[in-house]
Amino acid sequence: MIQLKNIDKYYDAKFQRTFVLKGINLEIEQSEFVSIMGPSGAGKSTLLNIIGFLDEPNEGEYLFLGKPANKLKEKQKVQYHRSHIGFIFQAFHLIEEMTVYENIETPLVYRGVKSKERKAMVAEMLDKFNIVAKKDLFPSQLSGGQQQLVGIARAIVGSPKLLLADEPTGNLHSEQGEMIMKLLKKLNDDGMTIVQVTHSEQNAQYGNRIVRLMDGYINEENTN
């Protein structure tokens, strides 16, 4: 599904070039659950952002679903964001002024889904995550775990093929973290490809493959 070939990402300062990623080769198949690990500054998030079209590599080739994705136009990126990729963030990034319901509904609004269908799809999500009772609350009225649930619901409401999670449990205490990880595992079992960035070995074990990054290089790969 994802093929990264010799990906470089760097920033130019006055007299030197700082590499964030250097010569990354990575292949991810459909239905995999990949955990990217590594110390701070290893380039984990950058890699995830490149995979999710939020950032562009400076060098190298990126094939998404077999199609070259290096020089995608803004319009195509938007299309991928709408139908193929869902994001989960460490800081949840829910929209403060929207209720739980509206937060989940937003991606569908952008995709131009009709109001009736939207209702059904959001209702399904609320049901699936057991948050029907919370649908009219605002993010600030929820616990962290609940907020992340909403974040996941929003990410998958459009049934994307790929779910990208940037330290999804980083802001949660262990019990809630575990719940979220179990949920991700279940989504993966249902066939969704997931790539997560994490610091925690324990969380990494939920996936079936671990990619370890060190100073911009892939250090080792192992499969559970």
The residue ranges that bind another protein (CB under 8 A) are: 49, 52, 54-56, 74-75, 78, 81-83, 86-87, 89, 93, 95-98, 102, 106-107, 109-111, 154-155, 158
Q: Which of 154, 141, 162, 52 is nearest to 106 (CA)?
A: 154
In the complex with another protein, the residue whose CB is nearer, 109 or 132, is 109
Tell me the C-alpha to C-alpha distance, in Å, between residue 131 and each of 36, 167, 184: 30, 22, 17
Min dist CB 68 to another protein, Å, is 19
In the complex with another protein, the residue whose CB is nearer, 14 or 75, is 75
H-run or E-run covering 77: helix 74-83
Pairing of strands 17-28, 2-12: antiparallel
Q: CA-to-CA distance for 12 and 125, rounded, in angstroms?
A: 44
Min dist CB 45 to another protein, Å, is 9
In the complex with another protein, the residue whose CB is nearer, 118 or 212, is 118
Min dist CB 219 to another protein, Å, is 24
Please identify which residue in the block is written with the tokens 């990217």: 36
Min dist CB 187 to another protein, Å, is 17
123: amino acid identity, one letter: A
